[in-house]
A and B are shown apart, each in its own frame.
Chain A
Amino acid sequence: LECVAVLKGHDDRVWCARWSPNGKRLATCGGDKSVRIWEKHGLEWVCVETLDGSHSRTVRSVAWSANGKLLASVSFDATTCVWDCSSGEFECVATLEGHENEVKSVGWSPSGNLLATCSRDKSVWIWEADEDEYECVSVLPDHSQDVKAVRWHPNEEILASASYDNTLKIFEEDSDDWACTCTLNGHESTVWSLTFDSDGNRIASCSDDKTVRIWQRYMPGNDQGIPTPDNTPTWRCVCTLSGHHERAIYDIDWSSTGYLATACGDDHIRVFAENPDATTPHQPSFSQITQEKAHDQDVNCVSWSPDGQHLVSCSDDGLAKIWKLQL
């Protein structure tokens, strides 16, 4: 990994960094209560916009809609802001209230019609978007603790969440109502984040237990004879990556080209590749291909650019950095 840019601007820890869908912009957010938008001008990445004043506490994470026109930000102040940037300027068009306390994560469904948020109040909320109106269509109270992350399936309306209760949960819509269809047990401590692979048949999750787990989806009637209760797909852990990380793993992202990157409390980012010699997808194995002491403090987030060529990381040291993967 070669560091190609350092994004300096936040006055406090940076919690999250996300690429716009066309890879030309980055949004970052953090403990200074602001969201910053960065663009590449010539060879340099510069901060072109600072969105502050809308959140009164830490901004924990951000998410772009699939068409890149909307950005959502969530905060410890219990609110979600939706920003419209289709005119070129960022305008806050909606503030979603309802969570009782800190909102931790946010994600847009692939179609852009649905938004999911999650909170320390143990619930996952699904909001339906109609122009600039957002209506809560479901409150999912299934986790028994703080929900740390939500991510949508890349092309189906399936939502996955990760929690302080050590589990992941899968939510699907069933005859007009959202419900938890599967609970993924295995991690021994808080699950901080998760990522789907590009076709959505696998999830990788990362935890305070210092491991990464790979989960495979099994459809009803699968050839392996894996039971699927209630005729709904089930997810099984098919691989555990341990011994690589020295502290809690705060984030994980699967690139469009198949590489897994992790952000760790030991200041490192690591990249893993699947070993090609596995005979079936049911017993995969992964090797660490590189690790980098990326920051001076905990790394909170990693995210691959849409083309899989670059990685952005951000840290308690107040910086975001862009890395080029050299193979």
Chain B
Amino acid sequence: MSTETPTTTEVATPAPGDAATKKTLGIGFWICIGWLLVMVFIAVFATRLPIPDPKFNFIEPGQAGPSKGPSAAHWFGTDKDARDVFARTVYGSRVSLTVGFIAIAFGMFVGGTLGILAGFFRGWIDRIFSFMFLVLLSFPSLVLAIMLTALLDRKLFTISMILGVLAVAPVGRLARATTMQYADREFVIAARSLGAKNKRIIIRELLPNVAIPMSALALLGMAVAIVAEGGLAFLGLSVERSITWGGMIQLGSDSSKTLQNQPWIAFFPIGVLFLTVFALNFAGDRVRTYFDVKEISL
């Protein structure tokens, strides 16, 4: 086997004429950003919005079964405990967005730092860090996440950190590859010959160049983290005693009867989760083609 890591992929560049002809982010990008801003808004101001209490049981006397379909009073209907699905979806965005944001921030910081150091100093530092990334990538991410949630607690911050650890290796590899690409360029040599120290070269010369492809990865990585959190929540392994989209979907689909008779319980959170992940993916992809990032490793 070659000494080069066996899991490296160079995903081919977009076809000529695909992106080169038009160098704008496009209307789709801004629609996606708009949706994400709406999500952030409702997550931040969930308690102030004029929506029903997500934990209140809306049981009316003389009614068969607590769960009802969408109506003017309950836009997304009510679930098996007669709680408002719309309000719960709004509150569910809090966990998803927090986890997504903290996870990718952690991944960017740790992975980015390790990757840049590995790419800049090379030698044994590179070998150690690259091996670390390789070990992390040897676990399918959901398996690693499940294992860690089993060992640690299920607080919001812990879950975010666990998913952050998963982001370290892909981010680190991208940062390493990009740093290597720039480390021998003229402007770095120029800075060095002017007497710049390593620290200055890394922060002032390399970091701005590495940050661009990483910004595309940030959006894609956030999507991955949100999906992973949803998966954990769906399996009952995410943040305890909180409203999560994954948990709501699980509630709406745990028996085929529920799914058949009250599909709205599962399908509204699925829809919102899908739109959010789609918006992040699409925006991330646009940013990537816009800056013409050649390599992804996610």
Answer yes or no: do A and B interact: no
A: which residues have CB within 8 A of B?
Answer: none
